[in-house]
Structure 1
Amino acid sequence: MPESRSAVHNACFRALDMHVVRGGADDPALVHERADGSRHTMTYAELLTEVAALGGVLRAFGVAPDDTVGIDLPETPDAVIAVLACARIGARHVEGTAPGTPVVLRCSEESGTVVAADGQELAWDVAMRAGRTDPAAVVEVLADGPGSLPAQDSQLFEPLLEGATIVLQEAGPTER
């Protein structure tokens, strides 16, 4: 068996930047089919801009490489943007869609820094009991959908090229 070489890469860079660099900036990257039958398509360039901007917002909130970000969003482009933004800055993410323990409690177990949620689905009383909220730091950055990130936070962050990307949680009973 040939000797293998270790490689360092960033999942976001491989998913987005490589397409843009290779001339596919205007190719469709994400097609969201809504319940009403309408479709929204984002190009690789548009998706990369949104992901890098949210990466800037997460960094502004103090998320550092190897931190854990809880993502409790419905299956929309915002969720894809949030997952890729975490990967871009070297943060892990914990999905909020698994049954069982709420994402805010799983994040407290994983030393989570930020919970990204749509605001209507997150049980704020659970978040407060978990000690995961700072009312002064609550901000709606994806409320208006793609393109709504604040201009001052839209600086493109270079991807970090190492670190875990996803934290997998086994669904099932917990000791809580």
Structure 2
Amino acid sequence: MATRDLTWFRAPGADRPGTTNLCYHALDLRVIRGEASAPALTTATGSYDVAWLLEQVGALGGVMRSFDLAPGQQVAIGLADPLTEAVAFLAALRLGAVVADTTDRASMVLTDGSLEPLGGVPALLHGVASQDPVWQLEWEFALSAGRTDPAPVVDVAGDAPALQVDGETVLTRDVPTHDSAAARLVMALGAGEAVAL
């Protein structure tokens, strides 16, 4: 796989980690480079370009931000559909959140039923009905709302966690090379490649 150097908003130095954003590296930068219509994701049912993916990620990020999701907070993602999961992962990165595979300490849950929403914790539900109108939003309704105020990119410290598995940080912002689907997604998109899901 080809690579492109990460774009730094503030360059790292001897006594500072610098700031960057993996979602910016994967999507925004490609639009700036004139690659908006280039294929980003392919599935068995179709192909999705960079502009479409950025629009979806920005909309989902807008909803997540409306629940005051802050950089460093955990987002538990349990989604079986790879396309939806990719959008969710990139939206969390856009906000500087940490993607986790468990609801322990989660500040938000994105699920199709594989993860149990927590009482008093915002949840976005994909394909399942809301049981709590205050804390749970259905996916398409949430995206419609998010399109009115899409999330901008958040500066994140280069050494900040991006992905945690079994409670351990396996991916940081400045070293997105872990052997996981999430890391491969970010690096392939950032390198200008289309990702088959």
Could you tell me the TM-score, scaled by structure 2's length?
0.63
Greater C-alpha radius of gyration = 1
Match of 1:161 in 2: 155
Match of 1:53 in 2: 59
The 5 Å alignment of 1:115-154 reads 115-119=109-113, 121-123=114-116, 127=118, 132=121, 135=132, 136-142=134-140, 149-150=143-144, 152-154=145-147
Q: CA deviation at 1:62?
A: 2.3
In the alignment, is residue 26 of structure 1 matched against residue 37 of structure 2?
A: yes
Match of 1:99 in 2: none
Render the CA deviation track for 1:69-100: whole Å, top value 9, x for unaligned: 000011421100000000001111113xxxxx
C-alpha separation in 1, matches of 2:63 and 2:167: 29
C-alpha separation in 2, matches of 1:53 and 1:166: 21
Structure 1 residues 53 and 122: alpha-carbon distance in aligned structure 2, compared to 1, 3 A threshold: same
Match of 2:176 in 1: none
Q: CA deviation at 1:123?
A: 4.3
User: RMSD of aligned C-alpha atoms?
Assistant: 2.5
The 5 Å alignment of 1:68-107 reads 68-95=74-101, 103-104=102-103, 107=104
Q: CA deviation at 1:169?
A: 2.0
Contact 2:67/2:122 (8 A) holds in 1:
no
Structure with a larger share of its residues in strand: 2
Q: CA deviation at 1:133?
A: 6.8
Q: CA deviation at 1:156?
A: 2.5
C-alpha separation in 1, matches of 2:162 and 2:122: 23
C-alpha separation in 2, matches of 1:137 and 1:8: 32
Look up the SS of the partner of 1:93 in the other structure.
Answer: strand
Render the CA deviation track for 1:105-143: whole Å, top value 9, x for unaligned: xx3xxx311110013x3346xx46xx7578221111148
Look up the SS of the partner of 1:31 in the other structure.
Answer: strand
C-alpha separation in 2, matches of 1:61 and 1:79: 19
C-alpha separation in 2, matches of 1:156 and 1:56: 4
